[in-house]
Amino acid sequence: MKRKIVIAMSGGVDSSVVAALLARQGHEVVGVTMRLWGDDGDSASAVESARESCRLLGITHKVLDVRETFRKEVIDYFLDEYAAGLTPNPCVRCNEQIKFGILLRFMDLVHGERLATGHYARVLLDGRTGRYVLSRSADRNKDQSYFLYRLDQKRLSHSIFPLGDMTKEEVRETARRLGLPSADRADSQEVCFIPDNDCRGFVEDERPDAVKEGDFVDMKGFSLGRHRGIAFYTVGQRKGLGVSSPLGRRYVIDRDPDTNAITLGDESDLMKDGCTVGMLNWVAVERLDGPTDADVMLRYRGKPVPAVLEQEGGIVRVAFKRPDPGVSPGQSAVFYQGDVVLGGGVMMRGE
C-alpha cells in the first residue's frame, strides 16, 4: 500500500537511507529537518546535508524551526534535573516531546499517514492483545529502543522504523551504493546540544547560580572536603573528586540538593538490591497484574539486570535478582522481556 510518509531527517546516514528506501517503494515522502539548537555550525550543516539527500532522491524537503520549544522542553529540563541533583535523559525527553510530538502534529497537518525515523528499533502489532509492541533492533550494538520507551500506543501506531532489521554497516553500504552524501557522515553524539560533550561546563555556563560549593561527606555524615557543586558530579563517579582517603578509592553515592552535600563511599555502597520507578509508561501491557520477571536496563548500553517488578499504583518496585551499582535517580529504567519493551519509567531512589 502506497502511503504519504513524513520522515525525520537529521542529515545523517540513517534517516537518509530511510528516505531512500521508502521513496524506492513508491511512497510519497516528505523529509523534515528540525532546527533544534544553535544558529550555525553543526545545526546548519545537518540541514544542508538533509536538503542535498532529498534533492538527490527527488523528494520534498521541509525545515521546521523548533528551537524555542526544544529549549523549553529539553534543554531547560536537562538543566533543571542537574541542578536538582538528578541525572537526566535528554534523548528520551526529546523523542517524547519533540520528534514524536511536533513531527506527528506536522504529519497530521500535511495529511500524512506515517512518521518514519532512522531509529534502530522495531514496532509490531500484537494480534493477541491488539497493542503495538516496541522491541529491540536486529543490530544490538545500535539498538535504540531504550530511548523510545515513552512512546504511547497512539504514537507507536503512526510510527515506522525501517532500519529495525538492518545493521549499521548494511545502512552505510546502502548509502554508498545510492551515492548519498551522508554515507560516511559521522554518527551524531548522544547530547546534540553539547558539541564538546562537556555537560558540567554547559550547566555552569547556562545556570551559574546552580553551581554552589558544598561538603563531601562520608556515609556517616562527616566532612571529607569541599566540592564545586552537585551539578558537576554523578552517582558512581570516582574520578576528579579531589578527595584523598585512607580507605581507598571513593565513589559518589548520593547528591542532596537540600543540604548541597555529596555523599562518598566505597564501591560496595553503590550496590543496591532494587529501586523505585515512577513516571511510568507501559508499552506491551496496560499495567502489571502481579509480580513480573523482567530484565531492567538502568542506562543506555548498560547490562540488563534480572529483576522482579511489582506495581503499586503509579510506581513500580524493582527487586534485583543480584545487587547492582547502576541506580541513578533521574535516569530511565526500561523493562524488557526478551526483545520486547514492557514499559519503563524514571528512577526515584535505590533500595
* Span of 45-59, 243-257, 260-274 with lowest mean pLDDT: 243-257
What does the pLDDT average to over 220-238? Answer: 90
Average pLDDT rounded to a whole number, residues 217-226: 92
Confidence bin at 304 (pLDDT 50/70/90)? very high
Task: Give the Å distances, CA to CA, from 226 to 202, 241, 261, 336, 342.
Answer: 21, 9, 9, 40, 42
Buried b / exposed e along 267-295 (16+ C-beta atoms within 10 A):
eebbebebbbbeebbbbbbeebeeebebb
Q: What percent of the chain has pLDDT over 90?
A: 75
Q: Pairing mode, if any, of strands 122-125 and 132-135?
A: antiparallel
pLDDT of residue 89: 92
- Residues annotated as catalytic are 94, 192
pLDDT at 82 over 80: yes
Q: Which of 348, 335, 328, 338 is nearest to 287 (CA)?
A: 335
Residue ranges, comma separated, of all CATH 2.30.30.280 domains in the chain are 212-269
Instruction: Encode pLDDT of 158-206 as tens digits.
Output: 999 999 999 999 999 999 998 888 888 888 767 888 877 788 888 888 9
Q: Of 236-240, 244-248, 284-288, which range is least confident? A: 244-248
Strands (E), the chain: 4-8, 28-35, 60-65, 114-116, 122-125, 132-135, 159-160, 214-217, 223-227, 251-256, 261-265, 272-282, 292-297, 305-312, 315-324, 332-337, 340-350
**Structure confidence at residue 40 as a pLDDT band (50, 70, 90):** low
Neighbouring C-beta atoms of residue 191, cutoff 10 Å: 18
User: What pLDDT, on a 0 to 100 scale, did the predictor assign at position 247?
Assistant: 72
pLDDT at 330 over 80: yes
- β-pairing verdict for 28-35 and 60-65: parallel
Average confidence (pLDDT) over 1-26: 94
User: Which CATH number among 1.20.1250.20, 3.30.460.80, 2.40.30.10, 3.40.50.720 corresponds to the domain 271-350?
Assistant: 2.40.30.10
- Say whether pLDDT at 41 is over 60: no
Q: Does residue 280 sit in helix, strand or coil? A: strand
The CATH number of the domain covering residues in 4-178: 3.40.50.620
Alpha helices in 84-211 (DSSP H): 90-94, 103-109, 153-157, 168-178, 199-206
Q: What is the DSSP letter of 15?
A: H
The CATH architecture one would assign to domain 212-269 is Roll (2.30)
User: Mean of the pLDDT values across residues 50-79?
Assistant: 94
The pLDDT tens digits of the residues spanning 261-283 come to 999 999 999 999 999 999 999 99
User: Is residue 43 pLDDT above 80, yes or no?
Assistant: no
117-166: pLDDT as tens digits? 999 999 999 999 999 999 999 999 999 999 999 999 999 999 999 999 99
Task: State how far the alpha carbon of 228 is from the alpha carbons of 214, 221, 223, 264, 331, in Å.
Answer: 7, 18, 14, 14, 22
Contact (Cβ atoms closer than 8 angstroms) between residue 74 and residue 193 = yes
Residue found by looking up cell 537526566 in the block: 88
Burial 22-31 (b: 16+ CB within 10 A, else e): bbeeebbbbb
Instruction: State the average pLDDT over residues 289-318.
Output: 96
Higher pLDDT, 282 or 212: 282
Q: What is the pTM of this model?
A: 0.93
Instruction: Give the rounded percent of residues in the chain with a pLDDT score beyond 70.
Output: 98
pLDDT value of position 39? 63
Q: Where in the chain do CATH 3.40.50.620 domains reside?
A: 4-178
